[in-house]
Structure 1
C-alpha cells in the first residue's frame, strides 16, 4: 500500500493542517501554562502568539522519532494533528482539577 500523499493532499497539509496544528497546540500550551504554571509565584501568563512560538521552538528542538513527516498518509496526519492536542488538553484539564 502506498502511503505517500498526493499533491492535493500535500497542499492541504501545508496550507490547512499545519496551521491548524500550530493553533491547536498553541491553545493547549497556553491553557496548560496559564492554568498550571501561573500557580507558581512569579510566573506570568502567556498569550496565544507566545504559546504558538513556544510550540514551534520546542518542535524545532525536539525532533519526533525516526519517522519522516512524508511517511504519513493524509488521514493519519490529520488524526495526529487533531488528536494529539485534544488528548493533551484533556490530560492538562484533569491536572487542573486537582490544583
Structure 2
C-alpha cells in the first residue's frame, strides 16, 4: 500500500508533507505534488501535515479521487524528487477553497 496525493493539492502545493517524509517519496510538478508508490513506506507522517487534506492511504482514497492513484504513479516516474519544504504557490490559499480543479493540473 502507498499514500496518494489527490485533487486538493492542485494549485496549492503546500510542501509541509515533504519535510516529514523519511524516504523522500514526494515528486514535484509545476502546481502539484505526487507520492512515488515505489518509495513510500506507508508511515503516514505526511497525512496530518497537509493543510488541505489532500493525502490519503490508497485504500481510503475517496471514490471520486481514485484516478489520482495511477496518476501519482505515472507522474512520479517523470517528475523530480522534492526533499525540502518550499513556499506554497502564491495564490495557494485562494485555490485551497476550490474543489473542482483537475483541469488546472499541469503535467
TM-score (norm 2): 0.30
- Which structure is higher in helix share? 1
- Specify the structure having the higher radius of gyration (Cα): 1
